[in-house]
Structure 1
Amino acid sequence: MNRIRSTVPVSVAALLIVVLAFSAAEAFESPPVTEPVRDTNGTVVGQAEIAQLGELEDPKINESSGLAFSRRSEDIIWTHNDSGDGPFLYAFDLAGRSRGTFAVERAPAYDWEDMAACEIDGVAHLIAADIGDNKVARDFCTLYIVEEPEVGADISHTGKLSIVRRIDFQYEDGKHDAEAIAVDADGASIYLITKKSKKNLPCHLYQLDIPSESTTNPVTARIVCEVDIRKVVAMDISRDGSRMIVLTYDEALEFERAPDESWGTAIQKPPRQLPMPWRAQGESICYGPDNDTLYLTSENTPAPIWRVRTVPVSPAPAPAEENAEGAEPQP
């Protein structure tokens, strides 16, 4: 995995200095900073509020590489480490307090890069994506689907999770490195965006239908369209299916989808560029239950947890009316 430093907005960097004054052991929320939301031409089209909610207290989470907001709780987020850790899923609350560590049984962790949460047949599930391929040499990649366990708000749990479905897959056009997956709102399709290819060909958005059972042979992820986005490290789709966030080392791009529109069409439209806080190695992002708020972590220790949400733009004050010199005031 490449180690590339993100751009640091001045005001967000100042916020980071304030945050570091707090004790890592305490739950805290930093004073929010408001930054502009821009279109691809740099025009301000809105504003977003950025705040650090806390730090992940579990020292085992040292390379948070994927995020998924729980479908069973309004206060739980799931993550996993990058390559080098075992097949573990970690739960934490919005203040960063540990709420559980679960091992996925019979699931090798070759290079887990992202994860997603979804409902399949009305049941909450988590998907761990073993899709990293830095050398672009893997014969197939694997997705592990497990039922999301219930974790309490005041206690940390440990346990094991059985694989509900294992999906081995190949890309229709050859081998690729990827670090980003998302599940559509209907829980029927998984989308991936590649990071690089063996011959430095264009990156693409791929679609993979979720099979009803584990696959015995690799299934095919089909090309949806080419995307002009480089070094994609994470993505997510909002629960209502109206938004897709695509994270790179340098920016976060949000695409909006109309009710009758495909993602292949939506991702070709100009996105909004959302401001992001500086992170030492930010490769994770997910939507919250409100379909708007975003949560982020990073791969350093202790890992911060950030919240980014759009806020209404304050209208400019109306100019005061002035009477002409010598004119009688209007009744």
Structure 2
Amino acid sequence: MRALILASALMAATPLSAQAQVCKAWSSPVLVASIPSKPINEASGLEASRTYPGRLYHNNDSGDGLRFYITNMAGGGLQTVNLKGPKPADIEELSLGPCGSRTCLYLGDVGDNAGARSEVSFTLLAEKKTYAETETPLRVVRARYPDGARNVEAFALHPNGELFVVTKPVDAKVTNPGPASVYRLSANQLAQTQGVQVFAKLGELDLPRLLSDLPFYGWIPTGLDISRDGKRAVLLTYMAVVELGFDLAKGVPAKLTAGDNVSVFQAPPLAQQEAITLLPDDSGFLYDSEAARKAETFPLHKVTCTAR
């Protein structure tokens, strides 16, 4: 009994953040593929399939239609999949996650550089072994923020079916970003086809404080992915990757501390890096660059955690 009491006391004295097991050391980036820049000329979203090993999903930034692209891990086997529906305003990100008993690909029409949109939308398509050239979406979910328009390039699905977005906090002159806000849509909201769903605000991530050694450009979130157990996530900025060592579904901590509840990876950044995905086994991540308009290919890099 005394041993049990002592163990319980030790557990109670241990900060929750210490149980996050954030990565202590990252490998150097390794070039694993060169992705064709035609038609993927403004890569803004990236996702690695866990159901179909070796498959990658991509999307272009604003100006493209309602479509996504498939390649293998080496950048080959390119396929374009069009979806029926109106042309989106600005698809910035895609994510894989639950949609009832299935896994769906979520395309997020969430970009809003002018901060003027009254609502955003997510187009859902069930993941499957083969796709036709044109597919019919499962549904489209419309949503709005409770406190005005927000510009977003980073969102991801949690294994519990919830969707999380991290805002891109820049002012009109893009010179003084503040903390990034985190919002959530519930699984029930994502099952709706009527009306406009309202995000719930969960908190803020003070990236300017955490990444104070970087210029403001390095504080701006551009991509997000959540681990298969939901306990961690990776958040891409223009100059860094921040591993969040906590479950977003349980809230956002008041303070981010490197080596405690977050791990920060910095390397020579790719030009306008906007897309990230965890590897299927969550051992590391892939990330790539949007700036491919003047080249035949753009680089896909892999980084793994070497000590946890």
TM over 0.5, shorter chain: yes
**TM-score interval (norm. to shorter):** 0.7 to 0.9
What residue number does 1:118 align with?
97
Q: Cα offset for 1:183?
A: 0.8
Query: Cα offset for 1:55?
Result: 0.7
Q: 1:224 aligns with which of 202, 210, 226?
A: 202
Match of 1:265 among 240, 246, 253: 253
TM-score normalised by length of structure 2: 0.78
Residue 240 of structure 2 is matched in structure 1 by 251
- The structure 1 segments of at least 4 consecutive aligned residues displaced by more than 2 Å after TM superposition are 119-122, 196-203, 210-216, 265-270, 275-278
Distance in 2 (alpha carbons) for counterparts of 1:212 and 1:255: 24
- Give unmatched runs, 5+ long, in structure 1: 1-43, 152-156, 314-331
Amino acid at match of 2:120: C
Letter in 2 for 1:265: P
Q: SS where residue 283 of structure 1 aligns?
A: strand
Query: Aligned-pair distance for 1:266?
Result: 8.8
Q: CA deviation at 1:298?
A: 1.1
1:234 aligns with 2:213: no
Asked if structure 2 preserves the Cα contact closer than 8 Å seen for 1:244 and 1:256, the reply is yes
CA distance in 2, matches of 1:272, 1:81: 28
Gap runs ≥5 in structure 2? 1-22, 208-218
* 1:49–1:311 contact (8 Å) kept in structure 2: no
Matched with 1:295 is 286
Q: Distance in 2 between matches of 1:107 and 1:209?
A: 25
Paired residues in the alignment total: 263
* Residue from 270, 278, 282 that aligns with 1:279: 270
Contact 1:100 1:158 in 2 (8 A): no
Q: Does 1:73 align with 2:52?
A: yes
Aligned partner of 1:195 among 163, 168, 189: 168
1:142-195 alpha-carbon deviations (Å, 9 max, x no partner)? 1111112324xxxxx652222212111111111111111011122x21000111
Indicate the residue corresponding to 2:126 in structure 1: 147
The structure-2 alpha-carbon separation of the partners of 1:212 and 1:134, relative to structure 1 and needing over 3 Å to count, comes to closer
- Counterpart Cα distance in 1 of 2:111 and 2:269: 24
1:305 aligned partner, one-letter code? L
How many Å apart are 1:311 and its aligned residue?
1.7
Task: Find out whether 1:160 has 2:163 as its counterpart.
Answer: no
- Pick one of 79, 94, 111 that aligns with 1:132: 111
Query: How much has 1:45 moved relative to structure 2?
Result: 3.5
Deviations 1:194-240 (A, max 9, x none): 11267877431111113364432211111101221241111110112
Greater C-alpha Rg: 1
8 Å contact from structure 1 (residues 233, 247) kept in 2: yes
Residues in 1 aligned to 2:123 and 2:182: alpha-carbon distance in whole angstroms = 20
1:307 matched residue in structure 2: 302
Name the % identity: 25
Root mean square deviation, CA, Å: 2.4
Between the aligned partners of 1:178 and 1:255, the Cα distance in structure 2 is 18
Q: Distance in 2 between matches of 1:166 and 1:311?
A: 40
Distance of 1:226 and 1:312 partners within structure 2: 28
**Structure 1 counterpart of 2:184, from 197, 204, 207:** 207
Q: Which moved more, 1:100-109 or 1:279-288?
A: 100-109
State the shift of 1:305 in Å. 1.2
- The residue number in structure 1 matching 2:16 is none
